[in-house]
Amino acid sequence: MVRLWRCEICGDPYIGNNPPDNCPFCGAHKKYIAEAKIAHVSFDADLNETDRKNAEKALDVEVSNAAFYFCAARKTSYHEGKLLFKALAKIEAEHASIWKKILKMNSVPERTETCSEKNLENLNESHLRESRAIQFYKKAASESENKRIKQIFEALVEIESDHLRLSEERLK
């Protein structure tokens, strides 16, 4: 039976017989996807100073990573690399959108990043970016006293770890 599902991290809906293994928009794992009628989604978080600072940094990380991946998707010479970087760019842009909602901003800042025409160089840069994001998100999750903010940071650790595995597999 076709149902309406909703990601509890990004809030986006998905139509299907079953929940997807990962949110097709932000990459959140299946445990964060529920039937829309019972999904708990809120971007109205009461941010203390630490959470606000970490959310602002997370927004910057995601905007930067999305810009890098969009660049790599355009420039890399390897076909599968173009597809991978395009998919990662869309996911990172969705992550930026999450932080935009949390921070009650009207739009996501625009940014330009440089990248290479060489797929391997972009994979190495991806690996560094994802490693830094994971490290920061783990720290931010441990610092947060807000249940919703902690949940988002923890989900992003899982998602970015998936991205890290994608680059590791291709760097072998």
Q: What is the pLDDT of residues 110-120, one digit of tens each?
A: 999 999 999 99
Letter for the amino acid at 26? Answer: C
Nearest Cα to Cα of residue 68 among 167, 153, 136: 167
Q: What is the pLDDT of residues 40-67, one digit of tens each?
A: 999 999 999 999 999 999 999 999 999 9
Tell me which of 22-26, 47-51, 86-90, 168-172 is least confident. Answer: 168-172
- pTM equals 0.96
Given the candidates 3.40.390.10, 3.40.50.1820, 3.50.50.60, 2.20.28.10, the CATH classification of the domain at 3-35 is: 2.20.28.10
Q: Which pLDDT band holds residue 71 (cuts at 50, 70, 90)?
A: very high
pLDDT for 38 equals: 96
Letter for the amino acid at 97? Answer: S
How much is the average pLDDT of 5-20?
Answer: 96
pLDDT for 172 equals: 87
The full set of domain ranges for the chain reads 3-35, 49-171
Question: What is the pLDDT of the chain when averaged over all its residues?
Answer: 97
Q: Which pLDDT band holds residue 107 (cuts at 50, 70, 90)?
A: very high
Q: Which pLDDT band holds residue 163 (cuts at 50, 70, 90)?
A: very high
Chain centre distance of CA 124: 18
Q: Which pLDDT band holds residue 83 (cuts at 50, 70, 90)?
A: very high
Q: Which pLDDT band holds residue 130 (cuts at 50, 70, 90)?
A: very high
The CATH number of the structural domain formed by 49-171 is 1.20.1260.10
What is the percent of the chain with per-residue pLDDT over 70, rounded to a whole number?
100
Q: What tokens does 43 get?
A: 């971007």
Q: What's the rounded Cα separation, in Å, for the pair 31 and 65?
A: 25
| Residue 160 buriedness (CB in 10 A; 0-12 / 13-18 / 19+) | buried
